[in-house]
Amino acid sequence: MTEKEKMLNSQMYNAMGEKQLRNERCSVKNLCREYNNLPFEDEETQKILIKKIVGSTKENFYITAPFWCDYGYNIELGENFYSNHNMVILDCAKVKFGDNVFVAPNCGFYTAGHPVDYPRRNAGFEYAYPITVGDNVWIGGGVQVMPGVTIGSNVVIGGGSVVVKDIPSDCVAVGNPCKPIRKITDEDMKTCFDKSMNK
């Protein structure tokens, strides 16, 4: 089994030990650099490049530069996807976004992790577990999503949260570690700011 096959099957693998993986990372990072250097108003070329970078998109999406990823082909963007500046996706495993996902600035989605024991870590081994984000999700500024996490649909993740465990649908979740703090209700239609996310 190749290191890439191990990576895609959530097994321990050596990311630096296989030329194919190194070449794929270099290729997509050069595309990301090209994307990040485009004129802001050149939305047509931006869309063409993102379609080259990520595995799949639907019709409407927008990623505000700068944007970086590891491989690109493991990323799936749903309809009406939007991310603000400085999104980083370490897509050594699948990262799937549902429809109507809004990502604030400085957010990271990290499928990659390293062994706790230093001998394997120092030898270059890592693992990758998929991340899934449901429909109608707003991810606040500076949120970091860790390997293997599933975020349900109709969720708000408060700014600065570190998401290390699954988050159920229909809730506001916040904190480090991120935890649900309340359900989203019809009362939320009457306000424009949720003070509970500041707790």
Nearest CA to 95 out of 27, 163, 44 is that of 163
Q: How far apart are CA 87 and CA 91, in angstroms?
A: 12
Q: Which of 4, 114, 179, 182 is catalytic?
A: 114
Q: How far apart are CA 14 and CA 3, in angstroms?
A: 6
Nearest CA to 129 out of 49, 10, 29 is that of 10
Burial-class residue 69 by CB neighbours within 10 Å (0-12, 13-18, 19+): buried
Q: Is 85 a catalytic residue?
A: no
Token reading at 164:
């290390």
- Catalogue the active-site residues: 114
